[in-house]
Structure 1
Amino acid sequence: MERLQAVALTWVGVPYRAGGMDRRGVDCSGLVARIYEEAWGLPLPRRALDQAEIGSGVAPAWRRAGDLVFFWDGGPHSGILLDPNRFIHASWSRGVMVSELDAYWWPRLRAVRRVLSDY
């Protein structure tokens, strides 16, 4: 997962922009799509709701780096696990950041999807 870390962490600090998909501004699903494209050349759907339909569902206890995570935080929100307890996402208030699956995020977790099966 070194490739994931190398690509994902270059996005930290990029501002949030609804509908954005570049380093001038990005939203959560745009970030997920761009990281997968840059790291693995794998195009993903643009919308979080569509991203939540791809790959295989994974029990939260079996989550691992590279899995997509989906939350309900007043609306759909997506990110990518960097390890079983940290994920990268685009926060509307703070831009692209790494967060812990902590007391705030864990109860909001709605799905874990595995798109990459051979790493």
Structure 2
Amino acid sequence: MKNSILYCLAAASLALSFFFEYAPNSSSTAGRAPIAATASLLPDFLGDNGDENRPSASTRDSLAYGYYSQTLGLKLNYSEDQNLLRTVTDWIGTPYRYGSNSKKGTDCSGFVTRVFQEVYGVTLQRSSRSMFEKVKRVGKDEMQSGDLVFFRRGPGQPIYHVGIYLQDGKFAHSACNGGVMVSSLNQPYYHRNFYAAGRVATN
């Protein structure tokens, strides 16, 4: 009975946390980790290994993946790269600003360079065209999380946009009409203008 009450309280605490939290969408969230991702709102009694003062690692992971899934609109199997998901989540809602790459505003290539620096410690070229020249081309059906996706407006046209592939046809990017967001390659505009995918050497 006691355990049932504790689990109910934990579920209620988690539910309330999502009512009071929102996806980061401005410079006021710069440098802050998503609260739900750190499991800081869980009651202390959810600890494991005899330590009643700390949430278990599995509980923290479950909360983190749940938060990323909700914020990014992805169906996760809890084995994805948390560092990539956390970093992309932290940038969601950043406004578009041509030529910039900060939480106050960023363009598409600025967003990609910052994420790769933060997640992989890799310094990419600043423009989408230059990035494309340095990647290893991969087929659309072979894309993996962290690959880059490139767009152009028709045959013979230059590459004008780049994003980071996540999974299930979804990619993160900074769009001029909405800032950093997650979109689908199946949306008519991106499906029509998709050009190629490329993999960056991160080792």
Using the size of structure 2 for normalisation, the TM-score is: 0.55
Report the counterpart of residue 79 of structure 1 in structure 2: 163
Deviations 1:3-54 (A, max 9, x none): 1111111111000000011001000000000000011111000000001111
- Deviates further, 36-45 or 66-75: 66-75
Please state how far the C-alpha of 1:103 moved relative to its aligned partner.
3.6
> Is 1:102 the equivalent of 2:186?
yes
Give 5+ residue unaligned stretches, structure 1: none
**Percent identical residues:** 36
> Is 1:112 the equivalent of 2:197?
yes
Deviations 1:44-94 (A, max 9, x none): 000000011112100111111100000125861000011141100001011
Q: Do 2:120 and 2:202's aligned partners in 1 also have CA atoms closer than 8 Å? A: no
Change (3 A) 1:73 1:90: farther
Give 5+ residue unaligned stretches, structure 2: 1-80
Letter in 2 for 1:41: G
Please state how far the C-alpha of 1:117 moved relative to its aligned partner.
6.4
Letter in 2 for 1:111: A
More helix by share: 2
Report the counterpart of residue 15 of structure 1 in structure 2: 95
Q: Rg larger in 1 or in 2?
A: 2
**Cα root mean square deviation, aligned:** 1.6
Letter in 1 for 2:146: G
Change (3 A) 1:117 1:43: closer
Please state how far the C-alpha of 1:115 moved relative to its aligned partner.
0.7
Letter in 1 for 2:178: R
More strand by share: 1
Summarize the alignment of residues 20-99 of structure 1 with structure 2, pairs less than 5 Å apart.
20-73=100-153, 76-99=160-183
Please state how far the C-alpha of 1:101 moved relative to its aligned partner.
1.1
When the two structures are aligned, how many residues end up with a matched partner? 118
For residues 55 and 48 of structure 1, the distance between their equivalents in structure 2, rounded to whole angstroms, comes to: 11
For residues 110 and 66 of structure 1, the distance between their equivalents in structure 2, rounded to whole angstroms, comes to: 17
